[in-house]
Amino acid sequence: MSRQEHRYAALTSALRQRGLECTVEYGLSDYIVHAELPDGSSLIISPPQEPPSEHPESPEGWMVARNRSAEPAVHEVVYDSEPGGPDARHRGSVPDLLAAVDAYLDQLGIPPRQEQERSVEERAANMLPPAPALSRVGAALAPSPSAGQHALQAGLPAESPARAASPPARPSSAHGR
């Protein structure tokens, strides 16, 4: 990995996690991140270019623009934390930059980061489906074998609809009540 790619690794890895192809290229006076969007447009993320940033390792601000030269042409400033820009309060903050870019990509319908999807999928795979009539407490306890429905049902009041609708945890001779 080149020095410039390493410098922008937080940006490129976050964009790649969303399935975007990224390159680090030389802009007007400093390196920029170029990310291809599915619609043929691209995001350009850069520190101040003219004049160049006085602190290249931690720029004082960021500019993000979406561009497409083919019809329909697009040129849109997505984020501007350079001094005097609408997002200047964030200055050179990479987390704030990434939050703004993520929100913008969400608006465009670009899927969330794969890392986030994986954690949701892993959580879903580890959960047992709760019985339809169980309360939130029942759903929260359902994945635990030691806190199964039997323990939950024993703690519910007799008039609880969840208890009445749930199948018995073990055979009972009291079905006819």
pLDDT digits (tens, 9 = 90+) for 65-108: 999 988 889 999 999 999 899 999 999 999 999 999 999 999 99
pLDDT of residue 113: 75
What is the rounded CA–CA span in Å between residue 16 and residue 9? 10
Burial of 145-161, coded b for 16+ CB within 10 Å and e otherwise, reads: eeeebeebbeebeeeee
State both tokens at 162.
Answer: 């969840």
Q: Backbone phi, then psi, for 4, in 5-degree steps?
A: -70, -40
pLDDT of residue 59: 86
Q: Are 60 and 54 in contact (CB under 8 A)?
A: yes
Query: DSSP string covering 56-92, please?
Result: TTS-S--EEEEEE-SSSPEEEEEEE-STTSTTGGGTT
Mean pLDDT computed over 115-142: 42
Name the β-bridge partners of 36. 21, 42
Q: What is the largest CA-CA distance in the chain?
A: 84
Name the β-bridge partners of 26. 31
pLDDT of residue 36: 96
What is the rounded CA–CA span in Å between residue 62 and residue 123? 35
Q: Which residue has the higher pLDDT, 175 or 150?
A: 175
pTM beyond 0.85: no
What is the rounded CA–CA span in Å between residue 157 and residue 159? 6
Amino acid at position 138, single letter = G
Q: Is the pLDDT of residue 11 over 50?
A: yes
